[in-house]
Amino acid sequence: MPVNEILALCMIGAFFVLLLGGLPVAVCLGATGLIFGYAGFGPMLFSLLPARIFGVVTNYTLLALPLFIFMGIMLERSKIAENLLEVIGLAMGGLRGGMALAIILVGVLMGAASGVVGATVVTVGLIALGPIIRRGYDAGVACGVICASGTLGQIIPPSLVLILLADITGESVGTLFAAALIPGLLLSGLFIAYVLILGIITPHRVPAIPAEERAIYSKRDIGMKLLKVVLPPILLIVAVLGSIIGGVAAPTEAASMGAFGSILLAAASGRLNFTILRETVRSAFVTSAMVFLILIFAQPFGLAFRGLGGERLVQDAFSAVPGGLTGQIFFLMALLFVLGFFLEWIEISYIALPLFLPIFHAAGVDMAWISILVAVNLQTSFLTPPFGWSLFFLKGVAPPSVKTSDIYRGVIPFIGLQLIGLWLVYLFPQLTTWLPNLIGW
């Protein structure tokens, strides 16, 4: 084996050693990329890097990331998710599992409004976990529903994952948003069906809200609240997603419109003030800086790995996978699923995925379909014990009575539902291609 290829393998090993040592991901990427890149082809590495980094920081599409992050944080801080959960919960409280259904619907709306997973899980966990357990819900079911519904922001547009996948695969953001819409709703439907079945088979685990509690509000009151609380976020979602998918606005323009719309919604709810605005801007800056730091430091890593022949190594190993294209797709899905135990979706997207894409490009595979398979897979990794990020988010805000074992036990059925959704998207590519083809993307 040539020396450069040995260096490429050592670079991957060094990255994981540093990562397991507790260093930040960006530092691990930058340090291994610069050290092994310099060892492989000397100072020329530093002459190639500026153009790559400049391309990241001036990418017009990536400018949508901080705007969508701002939008999600503003909706969280202005208590819009809290209002949604309360009103939808009252409207569906007569059903067994009604509160769980409300959480799923809020997850869909918040995912479609912001695309920020952590914000949804933390917000819904703070608002809903304690109250629904006190109403008699099984702790595992409650935790599973909150974690799973919070991760819907990974696949339902305007997902941050989809924006980065568009940059990696070369597809337009509008195409991936349109391709992800039906699979996202499919997963939501699977979650809802599971809760309804639980209500029939084990009603004691998902009881309805007592009639006397629901009697406080008349149907007219609930209807007015639904109109007042649910309609504005839906209009914001339609305006943002509709403008992107319909080709009326670029993702960055639509994201700026969404950020401004979130400010208007916060003002209309009477919760907008300078403190909230300052905290939202600060949080959006911190989160965006973390994302862009990883993107920037991924450049020397990717450049060094390719320059050392690592990409050819991966492609040779990939071509040896039995089963042809089907086997290669299965291998990629299994690899991403395992990596999801240890890495965040940003690192997986920018480190692992680009190594395999040339093979699928050469085979003529629809990249929008592959992108959605990857997105659903990465969403599953958010739920997978022991390192699923949604589990950490929820554990951080859960009441002391909720054990880690409750959270792990609760997410297992939803991991199964995610894998069923992934299998359906694989079996029926039309789920991802129908809408983009219909609107001409």
- Distances in Å between the Cα of 219 and the Cα atoms of 104, 152, 216, 223, 312 are 22, 30, 10, 6, 64
Cα–Cα dist 438/441, whole Å? 8
pLDDT computed for residue 121 by the predictor? 78
DSSP class of residue 147?
A: H
pLDDT computed for residue 182 by the predictor? 93
Cα–Cα dist 142/99, whole Å? 9
- Count of domains observed in the chain: 1
pLDDT computed for residue 218 by the predictor? 60
- Closest alpha carbon to 206 in 138, 148, 106, 131: 138
Residues of the chain with pLDDT under 70: 1, 93, 113-119, 211-222, 311, 314-315, 318, 341-344, 347, 386-387, 389, 440-441
pLDDT computed for residue 343 by the predictor? 67
Which domain, by its residues, includes 260?
3-438
Q: Residue 29: what residue type? A: L
Cα–Cα dist 436/441, whole Å? 5
DSSP states along 169-207? H---HHHHHHHHHHHHHHHHHHHHHHHHHHHHH-GGGSP
Cα angle at 315 between 309 and 320, to 5 degrees? 135
Q: Residue 197: what residue type? A: I
CB of 109 within 8 A of CB of 234? yes
CB of 40 within 8 A of CB of 307? yes
Cα–Cα dist 162/372, whole Å? 8
- Distances in Å between the Cα of 118 and the Cα atoms of 6, 147, 339, 405 are 38, 10, 19, 20
Dmax (CA) of the chain: 76
| End-to-end CA gap in the chain | 44
DSSP states along 222-277? HHHHHHHHTHHHHHHHHHHHHHHHTTSS-HHHHHHHHHHHHHHHHHHTT---HHHH
Q: Residue 267: what residue type? A: A
Cα–Cα dist 323/255, whole Å? 42
Cα–Cα dist 128/96, whole Å? 16
Residue matched to tokens 């409300």: 102
Secondary structure class of 2 (helix, strand, coil): coil
- Distances in Å between the Cα of 292 and the Cα atoms of 87, 92, 275, 301, 315 are 37, 41, 26, 14, 28
DSSP class of residue 97?
A: T
Cα–Cα dist 162/149, whole Å? 18
- Closest alpha carbon to 271 in 121, 75, 70: 75
Q: Under 8 Å CB-to-CB from 6, ≥6 apart: which residues? A: none
Cα–Cα dist 162/368, whole Å? 10
| Residue 329 tokens, joined | 């797709």
Cα–Cα dist 162/154, whole Å? 8
Q: Could you report the per-residue pLDDT of 268-281, keeping only the tens digit for each?
A: 878 888 888 898 89
- Closest alpha carbon to 26 in 213, 266, 291: 291
Q: Under 8 Å CB-to-CB from 414, ≥6 apart: which residues? A: 144, 145, 147, 148, 191, 194, 383
State the pTM of this model: 0.79
- Distances in Å between the Cα of 285 and the Cα atoms of 28, 52, 94, 291 are 22, 22, 42, 10
- Closest alpha carbon to 335 in 295, 373, 391: 373
